Amino acid sequence: FLAAYARGAGTVARPSGLLYRVKRYGFGGSPALDAACDVAYDGKLSGDWPDGPSFDGTRLKRRPSTFAASKVIGCWREAMPLMTVGSVWELACPPDLGYGPRPVRDRIPGGSVLVFELELL
C-alpha cells in the first residue's frame, strides 16, 4: 500500500516513512509540539481506504477533538507541527508511526498501515 500511495500525485515522503498529501492549505500558524490543538479527523485501515469504514474519527463522534502533538501517535506527532491552522492533510502512516505490532481493541490489527484525513482547526 505505502509504495503505491507514495507514487500518487502530490505525495510528500518524509525520512521517517510518513507519507502525506495536502488536501487544503491553511491560513494560520503552526502549533508547538506541546500545544493543545482542535482537530477533525477520520481514520481508516489502509485496506479500507478511501471509501471503506472508519475505525475512529470526529465524524463518528460528531465533534472535534483536542490533542497535543506530543501525546499522539508518531505520524500525527510528526505532521501536526508542520501543518497550519485550517489545513487538511491526508496521512499514510506505516505501522511504526502508528500503533506498531500491537492490536488496538478490536478495530486495529497489529502492524496496520493507517490512513488519516486530519484537519487542524
The string of pLDDT tens digits covering residues 85-111 is: 999 999 999 999 999 999 998 899 999
Give the pLDDT of residue 28: 86
Residue 41's pLDDT band (cuts 50, 70, 90): very high
CA distance 108 to 13: 24
Give the pLDDT of residue 76: 98
Give the pLDDT of residue 3: 98
Cβ 10 vs Cβ 72: under 8 Å: no
Q: Which domains does the chain have, with CATH numbers?
A: 2-120 (3.10.50.40)
CA distance 33 to 24: 21
Cβ 81 vs Cβ 69: under 8 Å: yes
Give the pLDDT of residue 96: 98
88-93 and 114-120 strand pairing: antiparallel
What would the 3-class secondary structure string for the chain be?
Answer: CHHHHHCCCCCEECCCCCEEEEEECCCCCCCCCCCEEEEEEEEEEHHHCCCCCCCEEHHHHCCCEEEEHHHCCHHHHHHHHHCCCCCEEEEEECHHHCCCCCCECCCECCCCCEEEEEEEC
Q: What is the mean pLDDT of the chain?
A: 95
Residue 62's pLDDT band (cuts 50, 70, 90): confident
Residue 4's pLDDT band (cuts 50, 70, 90): very high
